[in-house]
Chains A and B, each alone.
Chain A
Amino acid sequence: MTTTRDIRSAGEIGTASEIGSARDIRTAWDLAASVVDPEIPVLTIEDLGVLRAVEEVDGRVRVTLTPTYSGCPAMDAIRDDVVGILRAGGFLDVEVRLVLAPAWTTDWMSEVGKQKLREYGIAAPSGHAAALGRSARPAGPVRVALAVKCPHCNSLHTSELARFGSTSCKALYECLDCLEPFDYFKVL
Chain B
Amino acid sequence: MTTEPAPDTVTAADPHGDVAVDRRELSAELIGAAGDATTAAPDVAEYALWLGDDSLILAQQLGRWISYAPELEEDVALGNIALDLLGHARSLLHYAGSASGRSEDDLAYWRGESEFRSAWLFEQPNGDFAHTIVRQLIAAHYLFELYSRLTASADRTVAAIAAKAVKEVDYHRDHADQWLLRLALGTDESRARVTVALADLWPYVDELFHDEPLIDRIPDVAVQPSALRWGFDQAVLPVLAEAELEQPRGFSSSGGGRRGVHSEYLGPILAEMQVLAREHPGASW
Contact = CB atoms under 8 A, between A and B. Distances in A.
A186 B167 CA distance: 11
Nearest to B10: A84
A91 B1 CA distance: 8
Contacts of A94: 25
Contacts of B79: 164
A21 B168 CA distance: 40
If over half of B's interface residues share one DSSP class (helix, strand or loop), that class is named, otherwise mixed; here it is helix
A18 to B, nearest CB: 7
A58 interface: no
A97 B31 contact: yes
A188 interface: yes
Contacts of A143: 174
Given A81-B15, A140-B238, A141-B239, A100 B76 contact: no
Contacts of A99: 31-33, 35, 160
A2 interface: no
Interface residues of A, number: 58
B122 to A, nearest CB: 17
A163 B6 contact: no
Interface string B1-32: 11111101111100110010100011011111
A70 B84 contact: yes
Interface stretch (B109-117, B175-183, B198-206): B175-183
B31 to A, nearest CB: 5
B76 A164 contact: yes
Contact of B26 (A27, A88, A96, A172): A96
Nearest to B242: A140
A97 B35 contact: yes
Nearest to A93: B25
Contact of B73 (A91, A98, A172): A172
If over half of A's interface residues share one DSSP class (helix, strand or loop), that class is named, otherwise mixed; here it is loop
Most buried by A among B21, B85, B181, B238: B21
B165 interface: yes
Contacts of B19: 80, 83-84
A1 interface: no
B85 A71 contact: yes
A103 B167 contact: yes
Nearest to B234: A134
Interface in A85-120: 85, 87-88, 90-92, 94-105
Contact of B163 (A83, A97, A98, A103): A103
B167 A129 contact: yes
Interface stretch (B43-51, B86-94, B249-257, B258-266): B86-94
A104 B164 contact: yes
B15 A84 contact: yes
Contacts, number: 167
A79 B26 contact: yes
B68 interface: no
A102 B163 CA distance: 8
A19 B1 contact: yes
A67 B238 CA distance: 34
Given A163-B77, A164-B81, A69 B87 contact: yes
A183 B22 CA distance: 37
Most buried by B among A83, A85, A91: A83
A168 interface: yes
B25 A95 contact: yes
Interface string A46-84: 000000000000000000100101111101010111011
B56 to A, nearest CB: 12
A92 B26 contact: no
Contacts of A98: 28-31
A100 B157 CA distance: 8
B174 A163 contact: yes
A188 B170 CA distance: 10
B33 A102 contact: yes
Contacts of B2: 15-18, 90, 92
Closest 5 interchain pairs by CB? A70-B87, A71-B87, A101-B160, A141-B177, A162-B73
13 contacts: A27-B1, A69-B84, A70-B87, A70-B91, A75-B28, A83-B26, A88-B5, A103-B163, A103-B164, A105-B167, A164-B80, A165-B80, A188-B167
Given A103-B167, A168-B84, 6 more contacts: A70-B86, A70-B87, A70-B164, A71-B87, A88-B9, A164-B79
